[in-house]
Amino acid sequence: MTLLDPKPGMLRPHTTQGPSVDRVADSRAPGTPDVLRDALVARLGEHKVLHKISDLVRYASDASPYRMVPRVVVVAETVDDVATVLQFARENRRHVVFRAAGTSLNGQAQGDDILVDVRRDWTGVEVLEGGKKARIQPGTTVGRTNITLSRHGRLMGPDPASSSACTVGGVVANNASGMTAGTTRNSYRLLSSLTVVLPSGTVVNTAAPDAEARFRAAEPELCATLLALKGEIERDSALVARIRAKYELKNTSGYRLDAFLDGSDAVGILRGLMVGSQGTLGFIAETVFHTVPLDEKPYTALLFFPDLPSAAAAVPLFNHAGARAVELMDGNTLRACAEVQGVPDDWRNLPLDTAALLVEFRAASEDDHLANQRAAASVVTGMELVAPVPSVTNSFVTDPRLVHTYWHAREAFMTAVGKARPTGTTLITEDFAVPPSRLAEACEALSQMQQRYGYAAAVAGHAAHGNLHFLLAFDAARPDDVERYAAFMDEFCAMVIDRFDGSLKAEHATGRNMTPFLEAEWGARATEIMWRVKQAFDSHGVLAPGVVLNRDPGAHLQHLKTIPTIEAIADPCIECGFCEPVCPSRDLTTTPRQRIVLRREMMRQPAESPVTDKLLESYGYDAVDTCAGDSTCKIACPVGIDTGAMMKQFRHQRHGGLAERNAERVAEHFGAVESSVRVALGVAEHVGDRLLRGATSLARKAVTSDLVPEWINAIPGPAPAHLPQTQREGAAAVYFVACVNRIFAGPEDGEDLPLPEAVVRLSERAGHPLWVPPDLVGSCCATIWHSKGYDDGNAFMANQTVEQAWEWTDGGRLPLVVDASSCTLGIGHEIAPYLTAENKRKHERLDVVDSLVWAAGELLPHLTASQKVDSAVIHPTCSMRHLGDVEQLDELARFVAHEVSVPVYAECCGFAGDRGMLHKELTESATAHEAEEVLAGSYDAYLSANRTCEIGMEHVTGRPYQSVLLLLERVTRPL
């Protein structure tokens, strides 16, 4: 046991709501049974088999209202791994469920036996035919795919609201569509080919020239059955008509039976059936898509109507005028979206009867753009619109920021309403489709039904396609609430089928909650064919039982998850998973969603629980220590849940009084600490890396790995001990040299000055001189203490820095320019909660400016780049994203380089001050994809604007990352 390691029990909840009806049983505390674990390890290797109870629990929830704890989790890296797991399952009569992003809304990503993670090692996009087609790995998010394709003027057709998080494999498996896909731009229509691993282990690439022959040779019985079913269906004219009619609407209920009508051979039928099969017929290992034009000229409006029927009545008018998207939001949805960042606060005051349409036209040319403007004006003229709050404009716009706000609000519908739900309740998201001409009628019928059952109405949807979404919140721990939900579902499904002949699932796929109603929608004949399809593909019943087909009429009421109340900062989480793609530890330990899921399991348990004991053994490292604390999860979360802040709170909980006092003493004497670290770095320049790694490793074992840094090769030498001499008189701003730039030197390059000297010279050159306070040493943005949860040290340094800044800036008269983005964030925002009342008043009057904003706004207009470099790659940091100045980094980079690249996977590097030295594996994992992209190219400059992040990126790439301001100073020197 190390000297200062915190005890796991310090994170034990003081009170729980357990024992809950769906808590993990005591018998599961040891994790995966030894026999199952050892058998899979023998076949796959130890690192691919996750077996701790904390691993199983964190994979037990997705974005749906269901929860199933797997027996084991396999992280499959290759097609062979998938085939091996399927073979093992067949031989041992086990079940397998595939999980990628876990954004599914109906429990498709959950299973109670073998769960296979197919996200981590299944990423990549290969652009084909100049962007007209793309080969996409199934674990790649739609968002990252579109970043790649947009550089070629193209996009994917499917555009679900979860595009930033959902994976392409999941989109195909569920035939998810979204705002503009409708029935013509979805996966079924645009998927050119796929590679699938069948339950037997057979791998089929439908694009291979001899695919049909190979398929027949490998799977003769399956091929024969598919062709026989095709003939049987085609001979039944009534069934053919029914199938064609069902797919005139958006429809993801059951298997895609029109595959038998559209496919000319067995491979063609296979391709069609895999779309929307939800992991029940095979694993989609690769996709090739036809793409669609980007159409870069949007014309967008958020139009407000007095009520839902009048908004719905306007939908066909916009459809006829050629609108690409027409999205509907009711009053409850609009009011809930006031929680979304960027949405006007006065939306909270909208009358409940209000409804809105988000309408967008898109064009590729200026002529088409002008035609769209005329078409939009012709529809809006004479329309009954309302403006119930000052922020409502009811006009079409082209401003990208405003358009982004509108779409961000619409995409946040589920999470926004979810945040507003009563604490402790479970959220259910349903979607259905009716003929667009009957949209208003369906809205009214749904609203009346929700009110009759005591549910708050919250309706939104893809109105152009008659596709509506609604949310229900209920307490899964209360039998009467479950009964109410069951009765509502019975009546709702009967309404959609009998009154509208609609689709019970328009785009979210059947999932666990609609299987009991599938036959009512499709009829006995079509449903029986679906059962035969499942039997033909999966005769052993290995894949995802109960996800598409289920004979149990109460299946949708099983495995419902409770949502126990946890810490207030994270309690609104509905476990949607939007946070996961940006989390630095997503491929190392846990994600923000999983941190919350694990915490909720602790709350489900009774006070004395062996499951909680085991969870706490892992939670310290897996959740708390390896959280970068960067809070990019807050940016990704539509309602701003900051799991990083919760982990900092947990770090604080683990500190004793002595630790807090020592941390405060460090803050009080930080000037001496600075000098000591510089001396140590100077000594280190003369000592080998191997010796330093050995010494720090011993210290980490003796003290704790979360306080003693590990030596990495990229650690630079010391910065100069003295800062530039400047004059206060005539200064345009005060220059706060961040402590990281007072301690660490820049990259070794004989052409560059130390960063403080470079910034001072740049500002003088541009006619905006800076003043560096002579008493700057010892001041800090307080992030060092804040990130580790040392509240006393944090408060001391925060207040001291504000008091100093108040003096330096002459009471806020001069801007305070900070040369590290994380420190700008710290001084400008993060220290505020720790200030005294007087210092809060002072802080509000300070103008804290990041050096990127200073350089782009004040210096560039007065500078000339006389010797640009040819190429540069940039690393936008997490703090830049929080500050909103990534655009300035890009602008500065394009000023100093002819070509600038931004990696598709550029996210937080996980270095997080010194966390990358405490846990270098965090940075190595967080940047793996970005580093691969960087190393695939060759650049003249590697640019960022935060020294520790630059150290982290140099550590993983071996490339000399530096502040863009250093290069800016160099290329603007007079010749």
- Does residue 656 lie in a domain region? no
Q: How far apart are CA 274 and CA 54, in angstroms?
A: 32
- Closest C-alpha among 620, 602, 593, 618 to residue 565: 602
Query: What whole-number distance in Å separates Cα of residue 53 and Cα of residue 61?
Result: 14
pLDDT confidence of residue 689: 56
pLDDT at 680 over 70: yes
Task: At 55, list the tokens.
Answer: 């691993």
For 840-871, write each residue's pLDDT tens digit. 999 999 999 999 999 999 999 999 999 899 99
Q: Is residue 707 scored above 70 in pLDDT?
A: no
Range of the domain at 353: 297-508
SS3 of 699, please? helix
User: Element (H or E) spanning 769, and its range?
Assistant: none
Number of other CB atoms surrounding residue 613 within 10 Å: 15
Mean pLDDT of 509-537: 97
Beta strand extents in 27-182 (DSSP E only): 49-50, 72-75, 96-99, 114-117, 125-128, 133-136, 154-155
Residue with tokens 């898109």: 362
Q: Is residue 28 part of a domain?
A: no
Per-residue model confidence (pLDDT) at position 6: 60
Confidence check: pLDDT of 4 > 60 = no
Contacts of 557 (CB under 8 A, 6+ apart): 482, 485, 486
DSSP string, 677-718: HHHHHHHHTTS-HHHHHHHHHHHHHHS-TTTSPPP-TT---B
d(CA 172, CA 771): 58
Q: Quick check: helix, strand or coil at residue 950?
A: helix
Would you state the pLDDT for residue 8? 61
User: What is the overall mean pLDDT for the chain?
Assistant: 93
Residue 975 in tokens: 């010749």
Comparing 91-95, 442-446, 687-691, 947-951, which segment has the lowest mean pLDDT? 687-691
- Exposure of 756 in the CB half-sphere (CA atoms within 13 A): 24
Q: In what order do the strands lie in the sheet with 816-818?
A: 770-771, 733-736, 816-818, 848-850
- Give the span between the Cα atoms of 315 and 463, in whole angstroms: 7
Residue 848 near residue 827 (C-beta atoms within 8 A): yes
Share of the chain above pLDDT 70, in %: 96
Angle CA 213–215–220, to nearest 5: 100
Q: What is the pLDDT of residue 162?
A: 93
Contact 646, 569 (CB under 8 A): yes
In terms of C-beta density within 10 A (0-12 exposed, 13-18 middle, 19 or more buried), how is residue 690 classed?
A: exposed
DSSP state of 301: E
Q: What is the pLDDT of residues 392-447, one digit of tens each?
A: 999 999 999 999 999 999 988 889 888 889 999 999 999 999 999 899 899 889 98
Please report whether residue 558 resides in a domain: no
Our measurement of the distance from residue 956's CA atom to the centroid of its chain's CA atoms, rounded to an integer in Å, reads: 23
Please determine, for residue 749, whether its predicted confidence score (pLDDT) is greater than 70: no
- What's the rounded Cα separation, in Å, for the pair 287 and 205? 9
Q: What is the DSSP annotation of 16-43?
A: ---S-TTPPPGGGTT-S-HHHHHHHHHH
- What is the C-alpha to C-alpha distance for residues 633 and 474, in angstroms, rounded to an integer? 26
Identify the pLDDT of residue 916. 84
**Boundary-marking domain end, from 508, 530, 561:** 508
Tally of CA atoms within 13 A in the half-sphere of 914 that contains its CB: 18
Mean pLDDT of all residues in 657-675: 86
- Between CA 293 and CA 79 the distance in angstroms is 32
The span from the CA of 785 to the CA of 667, in Å, is: 8
Residue 904, amino acid:
V
Amino acid at 530: M
pLDDT digits (tens, 9 = 90+) for 168-212: 999 999 999 999 999 999 999 999 999 999 999 999 999 999 999
End-of-domain residue from the set 508, 542, 561: 508
Burial-class residue 242 by CB neighbours within 10 Å (0-12, 13-18, 19+): middle
Which residue from 811, 882, 862, 894 is spatially nearest to 631, judged by alpha carbons?
A: 882
From CA 929, how far away is CA 402, in angstroms rounded?
Answer: 32
Q: Could you say which of 487, 508, 529 is where a domain stops?
A: 508
**Which uninterrupted H or E stretch holds 458?**
none
Name residue 676's amino acid.
S
**pLDDT at residue 708 above 60?**
no
**Which one-letter amino acid corresponds to residue 965?**
L
pLDDT digits 0-9 by tens, 336-388: 999 888 899 999 999 989 999 999 999 999 999 999 999 999 999 989 899 99
Domain assignment present for residue 950? The answer is: yes
Q: In this structure, what token pair is assigned to residue 814?
A: 């001069």
Q: What is the CATH number of the domain that holds 304?
A: 3.40.462.40
DSSP secondary structure, 49-69, as one string: EE-SHHHHHHTSB-SSSBB--
Structural domain total, the chain: 2
Residue 954: inside a domain: yes
For residue 67, is it within any domain?
Answer: no
488 in Cβ contact with 453 (< 8 Å)? yes
Average pLDDT over residues 532-558: 97
Band of pLDDT at residue 946, cut at 50, 70 and 90: very high
Could you give the CA distance from residue 866 to residue 868 in angstroms, rounded to a whole number? 6
Alpha-carbon gap, residue 166 to 179, rounded angstroms: 15
Residue carrying the six token digits 């009512």: 520
pTM: 0.95
Short-list 380, 379, 358, CA closest to 302: 358
Write out the two tokens for 142. Answer: 């739609």
Tokens of 491: 């009546």
The answer to the question of residue 966 being in a domain is yes
Instruction: Tell me whether residue 959 is in a domain.
Output: yes
pLDDT greater than 50 at residue 246: yes
d(CA 444, CA 442): 5
Burial profile 72-85: b = 16 or more Cβ within 10 angstroms, e = fewer: bbbbbbebebbbbb
Helix (H) or strand (E) holding 481: helix 479-494
Segment 463-467 shows an average pLDDT of 94
Structure confidence at residue 716 (pLDDT): 85
pLDDT at 657 (0 to 100)? 84
pLDDT in the model for residue 693: 57
Residue 593's nearest CA partner among 89, 98, 2, 119 is 119
